[in-house]
Amino acid sequence: MGTVTLGVSIAVPEPYGSLIQEQRAGFGDPAAHGIPTHVTLLPPTEVDASLLPAVEAHLAEVASASRPFPMRLSGTGTFRPLSPVVFIQVVEGASACAWLQKRVRDSTGPLVRELQFPYHPHVTVAHGIAEEAMDRAYEELSEYGAAWSCASFALYEQGADGVWRKLHEYAFGGDGETSVVPSQSAPVDHPASLP
């Protein structure tokens, strides 16, 4: 059956998503149109294709134990020189993103993996391009801001063409409601207890 390359992320909604994607393309990032604008919860991960039903069930369970939370982006940051990335900062919602990504990679689920770097939620706007273009991205988006209520995350698969395509979206609360009561058996660090 082979393997598939999966990722889990929170999509940056419209109109913000397309505008950031166009900006990324304008900086000369060749990956811009193959990657929807997002905040990563699970980086590209190779999984046996036969595990896809287990992955989907696991993500549905994570989503059902979650509730919507405010997300706000503001200003730029960079991982240089450690990694050639310029990003827009997540200034509200970061702790909820951290909670979600831990649950997605939980040792009891099918997506357990170690991260190359400590988790830091962000929206990439330039990756692996010329230093001058990275500097331009950092400067031109330094005043950027966006805010929305995050109510879902999605599972994506990377095609042989390098393009990421959404397989399924998981609404928090498991049924698409925008406000849910957290599970009574939720761990103490559930997003419901976060400010």
Percentage of the residues of the chain whose pLDDT score is greater than 90: 83
Provide the 8-state DSSP code for 181: P
pLDDT exceeds 50 at position 140 = yes
Rounded Cα distance between 87 and 78, Å, is 6
For residue range 160-172, list pLDDT tens digits in order: 999 999 999 999 9
Classify the phi-psi angles of 54: left when phi > 0, otherwise alpha if psi is within -120 to 50, otherwise beta: alpha
Tokens standing for 148?
């929305």
Gap between the Cα atoms of 167 and 55, Å rounded: 11
Neighbours of 195 (CB within 10 A): 5
Which tokens sit at 103? 């649950």
According to DSSP, the residues that pair with 65 across neighbouring strands are none
9 pLDDT more than 90 = yes
Q: pLDDT tens digits, residue range 35-93?
A: 999 999 999 999 999 999 999 999 999 999 999 999 999 999 999 888 899 999 999 99
Q: Are 162 and 31 in contact (CB under 8 A)?
A: yes
Q: Which tokens hold the place of 135?
A: 């500097």
Q: Are 166 and 17 in contact (CB under 8 A)?
A: no
